[in-house]
């Protein structure tokens, strides 16, 4: 009788399961497939170059165009460093699909409140279900500098920069 260590047996089982498409510990149903398309880009890395100057009225930091062949789930993750915010400023950012990225600051905006540290990191993840084929879609990362509540507005001198920017868009067909 041949005696194999448990780790060897487990490894063989995992390899066989992967070969026949069985996921260990995974459900036997699916809510969609693996991403059919992955779009990724980086700007300003690795030497801390500026990706975008961010004024009060805001700017598109990054954009990614893509197409879908069938109704799909789209997941986007954006990441960048804020530099230059001071104690009277906050950075706000937003992910948008197929629309004007700017506009009034609202519930879907995220805030980087960083008056006491020189550089703050922002990472956003957002998803959109049932994105339809028939047009080229665009995910936009939009950012703006706003005055801190209770502080003088500062007007045109409110300003920051985005560095080390990345944007990843995953497209998965809906089941």
Percent of the chain with pLDDT over 70: 61
Per residue in 29-42, pLDDT tens? 334 456 678 889 98
Cβ atoms 77, 132 nearer than 8 A: no
Rounded distance between C-alpha atoms, residue 161 and residue 145, angstroms: 9
pLDDT of residue 157: 76
For 12, phi then psi, to 5°, come to -60, -45
DSSP state of 3: -
Q: Concatenated DSSP letters for 14-74? A: HHHHHHHTPPTT--SS-SB-S-SEEEEEEESTTTT-EEEEEETT-EEEEEEEE--SSSEEE
DSSP state of 8: H
State in words which class domain 32-173 has. Answer: mainly beta
pLDDT of residue 84: 84
For 42-51, 53-62, 102-111, 132-141, which range has the lowest pLDDT when averaged over its residues?
A: 102-111
pLDDT of residue 66: 92
């Amino acid at each position: 009788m041949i005696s194999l260590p448990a780790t060897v047996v487990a490894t063989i089982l995992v390899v066989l399961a992967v070969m026949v498409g069985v996921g260990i510990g995974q459900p036997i149903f699916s809510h969609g497939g693996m991403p059919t398309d992955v779009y990724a880009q980086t700007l300003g890395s690795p030497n801390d170059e500026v990706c975008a100057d961010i004024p009060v009225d805001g700017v598109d930091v990054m954009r990614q165009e893509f197409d879908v062949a069938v109704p799909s789930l789209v997941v986007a993750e954006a990441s960048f460093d804020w530099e230059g915010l001071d104690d009277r400023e906050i950075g706000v950012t937003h992910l948008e699909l197929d629309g004007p990225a700017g506009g009034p600051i609202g519930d879907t905006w995220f805030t980087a409140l960083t008056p006491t540290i020189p550089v703050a990191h922002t990472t956003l993840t957002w998803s959109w279900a049932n994105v339809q084929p028939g047009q080229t879609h665009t995910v936009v990362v939009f950012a703006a500098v706003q005055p801190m509540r209770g502080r003088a507005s500062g007007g045109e001198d409110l300003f920051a920069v985005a560095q080390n920017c990345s944007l990843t868009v995953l497209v998965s067909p809906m089941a």
